[in-house]
Amino acid sequence: MQLTQNFSLSEFKCPDGVLPEGEELENCKELAEQLQVLREHIQEPIRVISGYRHPEYNKKIGGAKKSQHMNARAADIKVAGMAPAEVHRTVLQLIREGKMLQGGVGKYSTFVHYDTRGRAARWSGGK
């Protein structure tokens, strides 16, 4: 199922193969729309390395107890040719400009986390 011009539902499925359904599917569509804004701005493909995680899987991997991934509101992303710091700055810029929804933005050494929780949350991590 194609969610936007450049994102399909399969990119957001849980690593064990479970796809978001119902409310989570609607959340995933909104998330994909936000990532599409980023994609169009940077003009580079975005790879979703972690999207939806059902609660059992999230627990199994030691994910945060209130992870936005469990609601299909979060994606960990990479952009070839762009350092995570640059992707992070770009997402924050697009949020400030009102082009992307306010949410959580985390910068890690190899990827960036973005979610559509509706309020600002910022952090830096190791991984």
Q: 34-92: per-residue pLDDT in tens? A: 999 999 999 999 999 999 999 999 999 999 999 999 999 999 999 999 999 999 999 99
pLDDT tens track for 101-110: 999 999 999 9
* Number of domains the chain is built from: 1
| pLDDT, mean over the chain | 97
Residue 84 placed within a domain: yes
pLDDT tens track for 2-32: 999 999 999 999 999 999 999 999 999 999 9
Residue 2 placed within a domain: no
Supply the CATH number for residue 24's domain: 3.30.1380.10
Residue 4 placed within a domain: no
Residue 1 placed within a domain: no
Orientation angle between helical segments 22-42 and 84-96, nearest 10 degrees: 100
The model carries a pTM of: 0.95
**How would you class 43 by CB atoms within 10 Å of its CB: exposed for 0-12, middle for 13-18, buried for 19 or more?**
exposed
Residue 74 placed within a domain: yes
Residue 88 placed within a domain: yes
Domain that holds residue 25: 9-124
Three-state DSSP class for residue 101: coil
Residue 20 placed within a domain: yes
Three-state DSSP class for residue 49: strand
Taking the C-alpha atoms of residue 14 and residue 33, their distance in angstroms, rounded to an integer, is 19
Residue 96 placed within a domain: yes
